[in-house]
Amino acid sequence: MCEVKILLITTQAAEGIVKEVVSKLRMNDLKFDIYRSNAQVACLASVTSIVEELRLSTLDLNEYDLVIIPGLMRGSAKKIEEVFHVPAVKGTLYAGDLPQMIEALLEGVKFSPDVPADVILKENVIRTLQRRVESVISSKEPLFWLGNVKFVVDPPPVILFYEYMVEDGSDLGQLSHYLRTNNVEGVIVGCDVECGSADLMGAVSRLKSEGFIVGLDVQDFRSVPDDVISELDIVMNVDENSLHWLGGKLSTSQALVLIPSCSEDVLNSLTKVVSEAFSIGLTKVIVDPLIRPPMLGFSESIKRFIESKSSIKLPHLFGMPNFYELVDADTSGVIASLMPLSFELGASVVLLTESSHKSRGAVKEAFLAREMVYRAFVRKSPPVDVGIDLLIVKEKVRKHVPPPPLNGGRAVTVSSFKPYRLDPKHYIKVYVDSDERAIVVDVHDASTHEVKARFTGSDPLSVGRAVVEEFNLPADHALYLGFELSKAEIAMRLRKGYVQDEPVITFRY
């Protein structure tokens, strides 16, 4: 193979990083040259300005087989190709990711003059792994079907169940959209003692019409009318005692989630209730050995899960809420840990709730964690670098753009507190409307305290500009507004509470 010469165009700020990255590359068939442009940082540079630079330089681009420009540079690399007749593409957004791009080049991946390499790489990884996941899942033989949902003994697939409490009063249309978006297959309707049969039937019927398989979880099945039970696809939390009453009311097309009636001898209890269900013709069975909360028997319940999975060759359910609802930590990290654990244990069904404020978004997190695990499974690797992640606050690779050298300007260090200068005409109150997912800004008259105008929107920059333009806010006040709007946006995206003049994120380290 002939040597391929690649020209890496970089900026003054990134030159050191690019040199360090290139020095570590061990590619016998590739030769790299680095051209440092006059641009300080890539995001402020344009392809047009680089073309003019290259025209005036002594560099002969005909020597190169490929030109790679920074991914953050404005404009299309096509202009370089048009002017110098050398193929040119956009590189990664950050120089530290160049090795992945070079490896992909050697594997034949085609990069774009318009789209940063990171996007191409991610899309390529996702497409490849997704095809393999779909192939594995489609080849698995089902133990049974509920509607168009396939249940297997060993994952994949992993079926997601969401528990909906009727008394929550959630908008079922919005809930259905949220669950469908995150590929949830089943909804388990829960109901407390005050829940009426009309409420139950309404929820069950609506969710079935939305295309979900629907289950029921109540404390006393004897309080549930027969017409509700006949509509169900699944009955949850059935032990030996409730099976005796329910047995004659269920058809063979309905499924049961069986639980132990004896916490001291879980395996024998489950074996007995499974045997009884099969003896009366109810063979669509899911086993739930019951996951205990952390510090209250979690590890023992994992042992019991392993024993049950080894002895009872049926789909097993892993109840995640018993863990993540009972630990004060962000659910994204907890669910990212529980999903591969449940997969390794052999759980082909996972139960989810969002019953507390801190667990809002758990369904989305579980969907992403499931995709991570699927891809890791087909790649036979840990769930890293699979084109999807649950890194929300922290980052895996530091995305660092160092300040360029200061040429000519004054260096000013601000070490003392600079007090805020009050606006004599107006003061501002900023809120987050969680239900509407919007930022609200009220502009008050400083003398009368009356609200002169309310601005509402989802884009903080647009809201801020509208306020500044209409009320001609002084610079100090506009700066303060921008600072608070930035905090409000972070709070809205993280589904956290926002209180003006208070921090949004409290670090524990």
Residue 193 has pLDDT above 70, yes or no: no
Which whole number is the average pLDDT over 364-393?
A: 92
Of 439 and 106, the one with more pLDDT:
439
For residues 146 and 234, is the Cβ–Cβ distance under 8 A? yes
What are the pLDDT digits (tens) for 21-48?
888 877 677 889 999 998 888 888 899 9
Residue 355 has pLDDT above 70, yes or no: yes
What are the pLDDT digits (tens) for 421-468?
889 999 999 999 988 899 999 999 999 999 999 999 999 999 999 999
% of the chain beyond a pLDDT of 70: 98
- Name the helix (H) or strand (E) containing 255: strand 255-258
Cα 284 to Cα 307: distance, rounded to the nearest angstrom: 21
Residue 478 has pLDDT above 90, yes or no: yes
Average pLDDT value over all residues in the chain: 91
Q: What is the reported pLDDT for 304? A: 96
Query: By C-alpha distance, which of 476, 505, 472, 473 is closest to 488?
Result: 505
Residue 2 has pLDDT above 80, yes or no: no
For residues 88 and 68, is the Cβ–Cβ distance under 8 A? yes
Q: What is the reported pLDDT for 200? A: 87
Question: Hey, which of 66-75, 153-162, 263-272 has the most confident mean pLDDT?
Answer: 153-162
Question: Hey, which of 33-42, 46-55, 319-328 has the most confident mean pLDDT?
Answer: 319-328
Q: What is the reported pLDDT for 40? A: 85
Q: Length of the chain in residues, anyone? A: 509
Residue 107 has pLDDT above 90, yes or no: no
Cα 474 to Cα 443: distance, rounded to the nearest angstrom: 14
Query: By C-alpha distance, which of 111, 112, 98 is closest to 15?
Result: 98
Residue 1 has pLDDT above 60, yes or no: no
Task: Report CA-CA distances (Å) from 419 to 411, 436, 476, 488.
Answer: 21, 34, 10, 22
Residue 91 has pLDDT above 70, yes or no: yes
Q: What is the reported pLDDT for 224? A: 87
Q: Which pair of tokens denotes residue 184?
A: 């949830």
What's the fold here for domain 140-379?
Answer: TIM Barrel (3.20.20)
Q: What is the reported pLDDT for 330? A: 93
Cα 115 to Cα 96: distance, rounded to the nearest angstrom: 18
Strand partners, 187: 162, 214
Q: What is the reported pLDDT for 252? A: 94
Cα 146 to Cα 12: distance, rounded to the nearest angstrom: 61
238-276 CB burial, b ≥16 within 10 A, e <16: bbbebbeebbeebeeebbbbbbbbeeeebbebbbbbbee
For residues 265 and 245, is the Cβ–Cβ distance under 8 A? no
Cα angle, residue 467 at apex, residues 463 and 470 outer, rounded to 5°: 135
Which whole number is the average pLDDT over 81-103?
A: 88
Q: Which pair of tokens denotes residue 240?
A: 């030996």
Q: What is the reported pLDDT for 194? A: 65
Which whole number is the average pLDDT over 95-118?
A: 87
Contacts 24+ apart (CB under 8 A), 301-305: 302/345, 304/266, 304/267, 305/345, 305/347
Residue 121 has pLDDT above 60, yes or no: yes
% of the chain beyond a pLDDT of 90: 67
Q: What is the reported pLDDT for 280? A: 95
CATH number for the domain formed by residue range(s) 4-121: 3.40.50
Residue 260 has pLDDT above 70, yes or no: yes
Q: What is the reported pLDDT for 400? A: 72
What are the pLDDT digits (tens) for 205-232?
999 999 999 999 988 888 888 899 999 9
DSSP 424-474: SSEEEEEEEETTTTEEEEEEEETTT--EEEEEEES-HHHHHHHHHHHHT--
Q: What is the reported pLDDT for 509? A: 63
Task: Report CA-CA distances (Å) from 227 to 232, 335, 387.
Answer: 9, 36, 46
Q: What is the reported pLDDT for 456? A: 97
Which whole number is the average pLDDT over 247-260?
A: 94
